[in-house]
Amino acid sequence: MTDWSEAKAPSAADIEALARDVLAQLPVEFAGHAQEVILRVEDFAGEDVLDELEIDDPLELTGLYDGIPRPEKSLSDPQHFPDTVWLFRRAILDEWAERGDASLGDLVRNVVIHEFAHHFGWSDEDIARIDRWWE
């Protein structure tokens, strides 16, 4: 039997480390551009974000891409803020506990790939090649 008396919930730094492992494994054609995106881990999305997305329960949002997708960018358009991928630790941990059928690393991988898919404008085939979540 596992002794849980000393166990601690994964921290934001733990989630970020898992996410950075995912980014380090991206295919070479995406890896360089992925480094241009800021990766942030917070416990929850802010109220302003939840209101904008019309989400009542902050546990429903595990990640968010905030930026302009690469295929839509133009050098002539001003960039007022850096592209950012947000991971929401408490929502990820809640889904992980609720699912019970996936490792935390697999779930973080799925969220990271999904959010970077928004940045890259990836097709379903690209996502399937990178993240075989359903297997």
pLDDT in tens, the chain (135 residues): 778 788 889 999 999 999 999 999 888 877 777 888 899 999 999 999 999 999 999 999 999 999 877 767 766 666 667 899 999 999 999 999 999 888 999 999 999 988 988 888 877 677 777 666 545
CB atoms within 10 A of CB 34: 19
The pTM of this model reads 0.85
What stretch of H or E contains 107? helix 104-120
- For 12-69+80-130, CATH gives 3.30.2010.20
Is 52 exposed, middle or buried, given 0-12, 13-18 or 19+ CB atoms closer than 10 A? exposed
d(CA 4, CA 67): 40
From 103, 115, 129, 127, select the one nearest 65 (Cα to Cα).
115
- Residue-range domain boundaries for the chain: 12-69+80-130
